[in-house]
Structure 1
């Protein structure tokens, strides 16, 4: 039998018939975490939580998905819609009526990379700045189409 949430444990060391006991410690519920980055437009997310708990994924107060953590606490979930840039994602783990919330994770912009299809209105981060795609296009690996150079494809945001 493993440690039980809200239970207590104590360590006892014995040597030559003498023993010392530690203080008693309470077992707390694990705070849920993300193991994938919170990146704009992501449609898949994963993390860790209390084993066998129900895991709800929230973005600014709207539930995006619900799944269940496996025995070891690992979970993953597809999202019906992609994560939105500059929004907060929070994970809630619920087991036996008790819940624990994660920290807030800020959804970041996708890093611009060469050789990728971009959609009008998509935001990217490049060299410390944010750009918006002005049209749908595919960059076939030519660095001359980077956001700082191709002003017909990218609008400077900040």
Structure 2
């Protein structure tokens, strides 16, 4: 049975009617037309659909809308401010840390969450953290450089 849910996505409030167990990914892409979050495996294993919920990484493909209600959700569309890329986005661009770009939104959001917790992560910490995000193009060396550059750029 469909219910009404109040969501705060990228700082904006939205009201959505949906089944409670419907994945947040579907709501973002189909109902709200926020298509930056990508559908990958559909099982929460590849990280392409990573969003931040109250600052924590979540796989939107397995995160039910009912659980998202009343929480702050950040998608890739919400990172840039006043026409300026977020430092993590800029670092990924500067280091050309993408090839096809499909994994990039999830990688960027995972990096934001990492740098919130560890402003100057080591290579080992970055690898462990980003282990939940797969890049089928194998752009990992550039991604690692991008995370280090983002850590230098990001002044909090």
**TM-score, normalized by the shorter chain, greater than 0.5:** no
- Shorter-chain TM range is under 0.3
Structure showing greater radius of gyration is: 1
- TM-score, scaled relative to structure 1: 0.21
- TM-score, scaled relative to structure 2: 0.21
Which structure has more relative contact order (CA 8 Å, sep 6+)? It is: 2
Bigger helix fraction:
2
